[in-house]
Chains A and B, each alone.
Chain A
Amino acid sequence: MFSLTIVFSVQQEWINAYIQLVMMYIGINIILSSSLNIVNGYMGEFSCGHAGFVAVGAYVTSVLNVWLFVSDRVFGPSVVSGNYALFLFPVTLLIGGLAAAFVGLLVAIPSFNTRGDYLAIITLAVNYIVKSAIENIQIIGGARGFMGMRKVVNAMHDLWDIPWMMIFTLAFTGLTVWVIWRFVSSTYGKGIIAVREDEVAAEIMSVNTQRMKVTAFMLSSGLAGVAGGLFAHVLGYINPGSFTIMKSTEVMVMVYLGGMGSLSGSVLSAILFTILLELLRPLQVFKWVVIPLMLILLMMFRPEGIMGDREIKDIFRKKS
């Protein structure tokens, strides 16, 4: 219902372009924050390289779309008609996610034997390796970046002129939240919480901890990849510099702000954080002094974040 209202408003141009953009960023950030929460919150690891998976999804989806649906300097004429862009966009988005999920394996497998600080290093290294690798692939622009996504979005509008990116963003944000909620509500998914609380006990009490870790990491990085694909098409241009450890840190800020192990917390903090970033924009570079400062205060006075590990429905249940 809510989504339809938004889409309708955008179509009628009641909401201006800037706010549209912010709303789409909110959606993307929700996906980023909640996907990282799977690994850092529910499973209690310290993954510092989330931006690497975002990059994989962004590039895979973008390259596929530009190659298939539009004519481009690098790839030549489009392989299929631009009309298919609209229908196949979810498909390429998911392919990007899948690619990111596989890169997630690079972190998942070491996590069998390594924990804590050592795994953090591995996640950092993977983030860096992905960024470096992209910089070295000249066909897709290397360090200069890659574009052409705007043409893809235009191709969608050519078919039916409604705000597609908004629709897709809303749809996939909702999908992400739903998928994660289904996962952690099930006894199967709760296995990752057992891994966090006491991995040894979990393994001995019949939880296949290796399979849980692989599932959690792949789900987390896969969803991050989807966010990346959306990000690429909302912006129209991507370059490796957007996917550094700075970006990973931003996502971590959202997760810890919201509360580790709280899905509603991640959603709330993503909304708050995105809005905050926009509000603080006039401060320019001071923005990045104020935000860390706020997080430090948070760590001192309310380290569990906004929601701790509770969900919104828990709070309302207790009140009644």
Chain B
Amino acid sequence: MEILIQNTLNALQWGSFYALIALGYTLVYGVLLLINFAHGDIFMVGAYVGFFFAVLFTGNSFIQLPFSIPLWLVFILTVVLSMIVTSFVGVTLERVAYRPLRRKGANRLYVVITALMCGLILENGNLALFGASRRLFPELIDKTIYSFGTINISNIKIMVILTAITAFIFLELIIRKTRIGMAMRAISYDRVAVPLMGIPIDGVIVFTFILGSSMAALAGVLFVTAYPVLEPYMGAIIGWKAFIAAVVGGIGEIRGAFVGGFLLGFIEIFVAAFFPSTLRDLIAFSLLLILLSFKPTGLFGVSRSTKI
């Protein structure tokens, strides 16, 4: 019983990361019908930018601040600034790489390939510029562990889970209650008609990328707070998995992304608990494959039927 609860808590935390990243994938897909394959690497960028700011503010870099900032403030600053800078990166990607193709009315496939390539550039650019050595994220939060019998949960874990839930609620509110959210939903149905109705489509798309990239950055900083090692390819595999989670949940639906992320987290943690860890990815992917074969459009997805 205790093992069950412990694993559930671990799964909730692990799933939170997937959920946050999956939300970003889904937002962009919902609006542009584009799988932003660079998204996982945006997560990586978020982590690295956070690392940069954390190191700067804790006075560990070559720039020494004239005053010292309390660690909790550093943490908040790191998160916020990382979200801002990473959004900037995401929007730049959109302006430079995706928008010209969108303007030309290019086949969706070409944009997807471009996205894939952008991801590769981010990964390998990082590797080339900053080297392959791993970085250690400074400790910003005093880790306290609360114990209930044999069940342990750290304050970081709680924070991660709460953040994911809050982010989801925040996004749901934006999508469903605000005008720009309505515009986002409209664009996903009919991209041509929307600007004809006077809605600035570019603005809405930029906003979507800001939202998605901030979520990824948030996930990035939280991830390195919980697991303080950074390396250039960290975004790649998590990104692919979060993408699969988003699709299993039903891509285009943020509820689907949220559930999908946690589902993947649960599958991975529980499989690792009962099977040798090398089988973890194998079983997780196989289960997802089976799920997709029963529900081809994902859990919450809506199938679009052809009319002839």
A residues with CB within 8 A of B: 46, 110, 113-114, 117-118, 120-122, 124-126, 128-129, 132-133, 135-136, 142-143, 200-201, 245, 249, 252, 256, 284-286, 288-289, 291-293, 295-296, 299-300, 303
Interface size on B, residues (CB 8 A): 45
- Least distance between A242 CB and chain B CB atoms (Å): 16
**Chain B contacts to A: CB under 8 angstroms:** 29, 35, 97, 100-101, 106-107, 109-114, 116-118, 120-121, 123-125, 127-128, 240, 243-244, 247-248, 251, 276, 278-279, 281-282, 285-286, 288-289, 292-293, 296-298, 306, 308
Q: A114's closest neighbor in chain B, by CB?
A: B296
Residues of B contacting A: mostly: helix
Q: Which residues in B have their C-beta under 8 angstroms from that of A128?
A: 240, 281, 285
**Is the beta-carbon distance between A293 and B117 smaller than 8 angstroms?**
yes
Neighbour of B289 across the interface among A122, A142, A245, A289, CB < 8 A: A122
B282 touches A296 (CB 8 A): no
Enumerate chain B residues within 8 angstroms of A143, measured Cβ to Cβ: 278
**Cβ–Cβ < 8 Å partners of B128 in chain A:** 284-286, 289
Ranked 5 nearest A-B pairs via Cβ? A292-B117, A132-B282, A288-B124, A292-B120, A303-B110
State how many angstroms separate the Cβ of B209 from the closest Cβ of chain A.
17
Which of these, B29, B127, B276, contacts A285 with CB under 8 Å? B127
> Which residues on A sit within 8 Å (CB–CB) of B296?
110, 113-114, 118
A-B contact pairs, 19 of them (CB 8 A): A117-B247, A118-B247, A126-B289, A128-B240, A128-B281, A132-B281, A133-B282, A136-B276, A136-B278, A291-B120, A292-B116, A292-B117, A293-B117, A295-B114, A296-B117, A296-B118, A299-B106, A299-B111, A303-B110
Contact assessment for A129 and B113 in the assembled complex, using a CB-CB cutoff below 8 Å:
no
- Cross-chain contact A300 with B100 (CB below 8 angstroms): yes
Tell me if A292 and B118 are in contact (CB < 8 A): yes
Q: List the A residue with the shortest CB-CB distance to B308.
A: A200
> How close is A300's CB to chain B, nearest CB, in angstroms?
6
Which residues in A have their C-beta under 8 angstroms from that of B125?
Answer: 289
Contact between A121 and B282 (Cβ–Cβ < 8 Å)? no
Other contacts beyond A125-B286, A288-B127, A295-B114: 4, CB < 8 A: A124-B240, A143-B278, A296-B121, A299-B114
